[in-house]
Chains A and B, each alone.
Chain A
């Protein structure tokens, strides 16, 4: 079972390859879009690379559930994620740290949830599941 540091190191390598960034730019708190310049197509590339690197399966929409806010108008009101929307986020992304976001849940700021740390936590859970 890889340690958390080992997982972070591999995630970091993966992002260096997928996003063509320098290794020292990739920090746990770096956001994929804001800090590392990821575009939508890069998210799919990252998923493919993580699967290969860690030998895991990442079902569509599990790590980057892009569709949460596209279907249900109950989830967003006046540019903010509603209680119902937050519950959905918590259910779909148990690996996300939502405490900070919940204080000011602007839908525009959802991108900031997607950090290197979030991917590391997600992989940690997946690797554990795979080992059981």
Chain B
């Protein structure tokens, strides 16, 4: 399974906010076990989706020079079950951005494809990222930025055209 919990970016404001989309398919493996006969998206995977949206936003703010790692989730609140066939909209907003790390506030809304409106609130969370200490991580991992590699790079291709245009209207 690919460890990518967003399908594409819809909006991207450098260093400020990002909106991403995730479609949920019954073919995704975890639905078989979570739970047999009653497939629901596991809450921590939605937090991971927010963390990936926020992590790329925070990484992009420094042109991906920092290794951005999830350090802490001060709170996460789950409001409703999310089922296959639904669509998640991840919204994250940067509340602090410093040399040592960053904090984002995130919301996940859930809607049925084709429906209008912002959808229903499914998750709210605050996520705190640390910038891995440059000197030490260089000794351990070398020059390669292991955070922003592999499948996450596919997503970043969407960012460039988005940063040049106005934000999408919600809904």
Contact = CB atoms under 8 A, between A and B. Distances in A.
Contacts of B130: 41, 44
Contacts of A52: 95-96
Interface in B72-105: 72, 74, 95-96, 98-101, 103
Given A41-B71, A60-B98, 10 more contacts: A41-B72, A41-B128, A44-B101, A44-B130, A45-B72, A45-B128, A48-B98, A48-B128, A51-B96, A60-B99
Contacts of A47: 100
Contacts, number: 30
Contacts of A48: 96, 98, 101, 103, 128
A17 interface: yes
Interface of A: 17-18, 20, 41-42, 44-45, 47-48, 51-52, 60
Q: Which are the 9 A-B pairs with shortest beta-carbon distances?
A: A48-B96, A41-B71, A41-B72, A45-B128, A48-B103, A44-B100, A44-B101, A45-B72, A60-B100
B101 A18 contact: no
A42 B100 CA distance: 13
Contacts of B103: 45, 48
A52 B96 CA distance: 8
Interface of B: 71-72, 74, 95-96, 98-101, 103, 128, 130
A17 B99 contact: no
Contacts of A51: 96
A47 B130 CA distance: 13
Nearest to B96: A48
A103 B99 CA distance: 36
B136 to A, nearest CB: 12
27 contacts: A18-B74, A20-B74, A41-B71, A41-B72, A41-B128, A41-B130, A42-B72, A44-B71, A44-B100, A44-B101, A44-B128, A44-B130, A45-B71, A45-B72, A45-B74, A45-B103, A45-B128, A47-B100, A48-B98, A48-B101, A48-B103, A48-B128, A51-B96, A52-B95, A60-B98, A60-B99, A60-B100
Contacts of A41: 71-72, 128, 130
Contacts of B99: 60
Nearest to A19: B74
B100 to A, nearest CB: 6
Contacts of B100: 44, 47, 60
Nearest to B126: A17
